[in-house]
Amino acid sequence: MTTLLSAEIDTVEELTERCDRCGAAAKLEVVLNTGGDLAFCGHHANRHRADIARVASRIRIEDGFSWPSK
């Protein structure tokens, strides 16, 4: 069985990015395994959880935001 999430997860004090989907303050930032990165607000981080887990090589999560990675 492969694990769903192989990305390294860092917790950071604050993210200054905006969600790429809706422009809200980002709670989660994803570095893609193809290069590049994406930012998501809490709503979109949850909504795209499976996709994020599949393409992320590294994830930064704002402190206090709980994101179920499984």
Instruction: Report the interface residues with Zn ion, using CB under 5 A.
Output: 19, 21-22, 24, 41, 44
Cβ 25 vs Cβ 14: under 8 Å: no
Of residues 41 and 53, the one with the C-beta less far from Zn ion? 41
| Shortest reach from residue 60's CB to Zn ion, in Å | 16
Of residues 1 and 44, the one with the C-beta less far from Zn ion? 44
Continuous H helices in the chain: 42-47, 49-55
Of residues 9 and 22, the one with the C-beta less far from Zn ion? 22
Phi, psi of 37, deg, nearest 5 = -150, 165
